[in-house]
Amino acid sequence: MLRRIFLVAFLSVLPASALWAEGPGALAQEIDRLAREFEPKVIAWRRDFHQNPELGNREFRTAKVVAEHLRRLGLEVKTGVAHTGVVGLLRGGGPGPVVALRADMDALPVTETLDLPFRSQARVEYEGRQTGVMHACGHDAHTAILMGVAEVLAGLKSQIAGTVVFIFQPAEEGAPEGEEGGASLMIKEGVLESPRPDAIFALHTSTGHHTGKLAYRAGPVMAASDRLRIKVRGRQTHGAAPWSGVDPVVVASQIVLGLQTIVSRQMNLTKEPVVVTIGSIHGGNRNNIIPGEVEMEGTVRTFNQNMREEVHRRIKQTAEMIAAAAGASAEVQIREGYPVSVNDEGLTEKMLPTLKRCAGEKNVVLRDKSTGAEDFAFFQQKIPGFYYHLGVVPAGVDVKQAAPGHSDKFFVDEAALVMGVRSLANLAVDFLESAR
């Protein structure tokens, strides 16, 4: 016990250069020790956020908890970034590079059905309807993990050569209609300036991997996401005499089928995957009235900018020509959302040994591309970024049976949180040292 106390005291007074002269082992061990020491705090923060979820651009309580924590640690703190974002600045004991770590804070309009003692019972009005609110994508865990990383690194401040920027981001799931938000607005408001990070890291919970596993991929890892809206206009008439009008319901149905041939017959899927999905379709209000118009909405996912633009062109062409052939018209709107999330290949290769040291080589696995989307991609467009996944499925549970993200039964094994703290903290310190 005395030896351990002496080691901790010795590490606290060593300059970063002296500590690293012995290799990364000593500092990594201290990071891991502190991560385990703070594990109960991280779990408590996560449960608190889970029980008190907030939607995008409305994370007022969450931001206040985060900001107060960072201030207690002695960090320079800026609030109100992109509405509710919080940025903390940790200046190390010596000069050096700058690294950024990001966590998202927003929840989703999902009513939780899990029977947990800290289950969310929050309700709000969302797009004109009452709904529950739930951290159904793990952002509560992300925020708690980054708070833990801040506490670990603040305790090792004198051993860090460089600066760490902690970015707590609102509205990753998208800003409310008519508002700006998320990573793009944080960038617009200068989050990557003064100081400008040399690299940025983030993690995301994964129900595709067990606790203790870390999953990564270099290059394109998550898709670009665009919102599709099509309004089909026909001519209203009696349902008993469809020849007296133009039926937009039938036309809309043909358009849905036609859009699928863009993916199956018109795009080179050996190059990159493409997804075109119609998720909602609305028209009419009575069984014997053919309505005048039908509206549908969907999503488009791509991994290549040229293919993205070509898919957009073909969607517009397909919808308009099918409608015209029936004597109807189609108005197509495509709103570009998140770009492709691309892990910088050089940065990924350089930091992979850190992940393997944290989790063990067998527990660091190559993941498939995901057609999900992530606005961390906006940061990656500006500076080299690395985004990886943290397994959160308990041992003994088949990952194929685990509820996915955005589900009302989404579950995080809290035993995974300490791995999140350890991996992010070690990535930050290892990058700072390697980039000196």
Torsion sign (Cα): 37, 388, 53, 210: negative
Torsion sign (Cα): 50, 126, 166, 346: positive
Given 189, 272, 295, 414, the catalytic residue: 414
The amino acid present at 338, given as its one-letter code, is Y
Widest CA span in the chain:
92
387 has catalytic annotation: no
CB 81 within 8 A of CB 5: no
Given 216, 338, 387, 388, the catalytic residue: 338
**Residue 114, helix vs strand vs coil:** coil
Distance CA 84, CA 291 (A): 43
Q: Buried (b) or exposed (e) across 230-252, using 16+ Cβ within 10 A? A: bbbbbebbeeeeeeebbbbbbbb
Distance CA 420, CA 202 (A): 10
Ramachandran class of 360: left when φ > 0, alpha when ψ lies in -120 to 50, beta otherwise: left
CB 65 within 8 A of CB 140: no
338 has catalytic annotation: yes
Residues designated catalytic: 338, 414
